[in-house]
Amino acid sequence: MIYIACGSIIMVVGLLWLISPPKRPRPFYSYYSYLAQVNKASFKFAQHKASYYFIIFGLIQLVLGIGIHLLKWDRYFLLWLLTFYLFIIFPIMATEKSLKSFLQKRHELPADYIDPDKVKKERTKGFRDRK
């Protein structure tokens, strides 16, 4: 049931962003990230992509939830509780990757942007890591 509830909410958020996209970045009602706030074109692109990704992944999660319920696998609630958040993370990851490639193609990627996949830390003696 958690897959059905979460998938429905994610899909509704995607539909709301598609039907009534926000005009400017807001923390509560928009796709709000560093790359989405670079300029107006990146914000519109991020809203458009995020709405589609939220609809797609919400629909996938909803269908999985219905399948789990029909197959009577509801008794594995702990497994579903430990995995449902992945469908919240996946559309955000997909939107950020699309937004990064969009900004790179337009040569508008901020100079201070650090790719999270390429961050490496060096271990040192003591309590702190060097960046």
Q: pLDDT for 11-69, tens place per residue?
A: 999 999 999 988 888 888 889 898 999 999 999 999 999 999 999 999 999 999 999 99
How crowded is residue 50: how many other Cβ atoms within 10 Å of its Cβ?
Answer: 27
Residue 117 located in a structural domain: no
pLDDT at 29: 87
Residue 9 located in a structural domain: yes
- Model confidence band, residue 77 (pLDDT cutoffs 50, 70, 90): confident
Residue 128 located in a structural domain: no
Domain interval for residue 73:
2-106
> What size, in residues, is the chain?
131
Q: Using an 8 Å Cβ cutoff, are 66 and 13 in contact?
A: no
pTM of the model: 0.84
Q: How many domains does the chain have?
A: 1
Residue 67 located in a structural domain: yes
Residue 124 located in a structural domain: no
